[in-house]
Structure 1
Amino acid sequence: MPTTSATVKIIDIVVSDLGAAIEFYRRLGLEFERDQYMPDDHAGCDLPNGLHLMLDTDEARSKITANWTPPTSSRAFLTFEYDTPAAVDATYAELVAAGVTGLQEPYDAPWGMRYATVADPSGNGVDLYATLA
Structure 2
Amino acid sequence: MVTPVLDAVAVTAKDIERAMAFYTVLGFDFEGGFLSDDHVEPVRRPGEPRLMIDSAALMEKLTGEAPRAPNHSAFALLCDTPAEVDGMAKAVEEAGFSVLVQPWDAFWGQRYATVSDPDGYRVDLFAPL
| Letter paired with 1:64 | L
CA radius of gyration, larger in: 1
Find 1:109's aligned residue among 106, 109, 126.
106
The corresponding residue for 1:8 is 6
1:119-130 matched pairs, under 5 angstroms: 119-130=116-127
The corresponding residue for 2:25 is 27
Distance 1:119 1:125 in 2: 4
The corresponding residue for 1:118 is 115
The question of whether the paired residues in 2 share the 8 Å contact of 1:9 and 1:52 is answered with yes
SS, match of residue 29 in structure 2: coil
Distance 1:124 1:62 in 2: 17
Distance 1:28 1:12 in 2: 16
The question of whether the paired residues in 2 share the 8 Å contact of 1:16 and 1:57 is answered with yes
What fraction of aligned residue pairs are identical, expressed as a percent? Answer: 35
Find 1:53's aligned residue among 51, 54, 58.
51
SS, match of residue 49 in structure 1: coil
Could you say what the CA RMSD is over the residues aligned between the two structures, in angstroms?
A: 2.0
The question of whether the paired residues in 2 share the 8 Å contact of 1:14 and 1:57 is answered with yes
TM value normalised by structure 2: 0.85
| Letter paired with 2:25 | R
The Cα of 1:54 is off from its aligned counterpart by 0.6
The question of whether the paired residues in 2 share the 8 Å contact of 1:14 and 1:61 is answered with yes
Per-residue deviation, residues 29-62 of structure 1 (Å, max 9, x unmatched): 1123343xxx221101324326222100111112
Distance 2:53 2:21 in 1: 12
Please, which runs of 5 or more residues in structure 1 have no aligned partner?
Answer: none
